[in-house]
């Protein structure tokens, strides 16, 4: 009698892993195609670093939104909270504020919004869209009250941190004048990557992360398994608020200015990045690594549009909308066929 050994390498991918793999493959294929056809900056590593520098705050916000969406919720206030954090910190620092206290201010604002949203949605069972919509309007209004006019950051210590960049000479390129231009990464990118790693570990290895998936997949089943659904949902919004505060501080370090229109539309870009990365709006499926590549895919699309000579802003919106519809359709087809194959 022979015993067949189980081949662990042939185990099928989960829905989360499958959608994440598709996103990564599309991003790599899209970027390679841009390198072959458009060339230009796409041939230099600095192009990818510039994409990371410009979107570090978006990546952080998208990580928080991914957790909320995996749990079956939504948070459309993240962009407005980021804007409020930027304006508050800039005004505080310009009036002789302390760097450490300004960081605590950013985290405090984010946690305050996350706390209120979590309490109203989890324990009073108010619809997440309504609660976070109110939070978005409140944050936008508070930002305008603080200052209608743009405020430039004028703090020697923070400006020194903002101007600090990590240089990688061997990934640089030679300019037309013959000088070597090293690749540069802002400190905010390191913060964004650290957030991605922490949230990845949380979702994959910790009990709280598994509870998010269980709650988003089927709330009734989660309750039968003994999961405290209200507390789990509260934690998802608290984490989202905390990451919005961190995002605001990183955004301030990148732009060096506060404006009432800061981070306008960031919540929509974060939702789009999460969906492109394989997170389902219905909950239960998603991965923060996929969200990271979703942000990069979204940025690559915009770079390709600009490099193609379509500089008008509406072309970026059109291509973003088209790509979002494509990924939603792709998710439906892939998961639909996968469900049929499982039944068969």
Model confidence pLDDT, tens digit, residues 276-318 = 998 988 888 889 999 999 999 999 988 888 887 777 777 878 8
Percent of the chain exceeding pLDDT 90 equals: 53
- The more confidently predicted of residues 309 and 85 is 85
Domain range list for the chain:
44-263+279-287
Residue/partner pairs of 233-236 with CB below 8 Å, 24 or more apart: 233/71, 233/73, 233/118, 233/121, 233/122, 234/118, 234/119, 234/121, 234/122, 234/123, 235/118, 235/208, 236/67, 236/68, 236/70, 236/71, 236/73, 236/118, 236/212
Segment 28-58, tens digit of pLDDT:
998 998 888 877 778 888 888 989 999 999 9
Mean pLDDT across the stretch 235-243? 97
pLDDT computed for residue 1 by the predictor: 43
Mean pLDDT across the stretch 130-148? 94
Whether the pTM exceeds 0.75: the reply is yes
Question: In this model, does residue 266 exceed pLDDT 70?
Answer: yes
């Amino acid at each position: 009698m022979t015993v067949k050994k189980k081949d662990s390498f042939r185990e099928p991918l989960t829905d989360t892993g499958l959608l994440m793999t598709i996103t990564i493959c599309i991003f790599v294929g899209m970027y390679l195609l841009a390198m072959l056809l458009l060339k230009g900056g796409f041939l230099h590593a600095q192009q990818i670093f510039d994409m990371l520098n410009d979107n570090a705050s978006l990546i952080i916000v998208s990580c928080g939104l991914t957790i909320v969406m995996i749990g079956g919720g939504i948070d459309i206030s993240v962009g407005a909270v980021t804007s409020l954090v930027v304006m508050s910190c800039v005004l505080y620092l310009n009036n002789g504020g302390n760097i450490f206290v300004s960081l605590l201010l950013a985290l405090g604002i984010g946690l305050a919004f996350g706390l209120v949203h979590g309490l109203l949605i989890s324990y009073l069972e108010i619809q997440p869209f309504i609660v976070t919509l109110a939070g978005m309007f409140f944050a936008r209004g508070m930002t305008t009250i603080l200052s209608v006019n743009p405020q430039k950051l004028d703090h020697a210590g923070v400006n020194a941190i903002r101007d600090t960049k990590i240089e990688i000479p061997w990934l640089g390129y030679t300019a037309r004048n013959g000088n070597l231009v090293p690749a540069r990464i802002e400190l905010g990118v390191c913060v964004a990557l650290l957030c991605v790693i922490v949230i990845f570990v949380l979702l994959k290895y910790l009990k709280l992360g598994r509870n998010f998936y269980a709650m988003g997949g089927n709330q009734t089943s989660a309750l039968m398994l003994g999961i405290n659904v209200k507390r789990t949902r509260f934690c998802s919004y608290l984490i989202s608020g905390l990451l919005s505060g961190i995002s605001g501080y990183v955004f301030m370090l990148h732009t060096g200015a506060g404006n009432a229109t800061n981070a306008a539309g960031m919540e929509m870009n974060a939702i789009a990045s999460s969906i492109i990365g394989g997170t389902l709006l219905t909950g239960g499926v998603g991965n923060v690594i996929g969200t990271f590549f979703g942000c990069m895919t979204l940025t690559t699309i915009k770079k390709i549009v600009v490099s193609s000579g379509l500089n008008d802003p509406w072309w970026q919106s059109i291509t973003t909308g088209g790509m979002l519809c494509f990924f939603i359709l792709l998710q439906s087809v892939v998961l639909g066929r996968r469900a049929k194959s499982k039944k068969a």
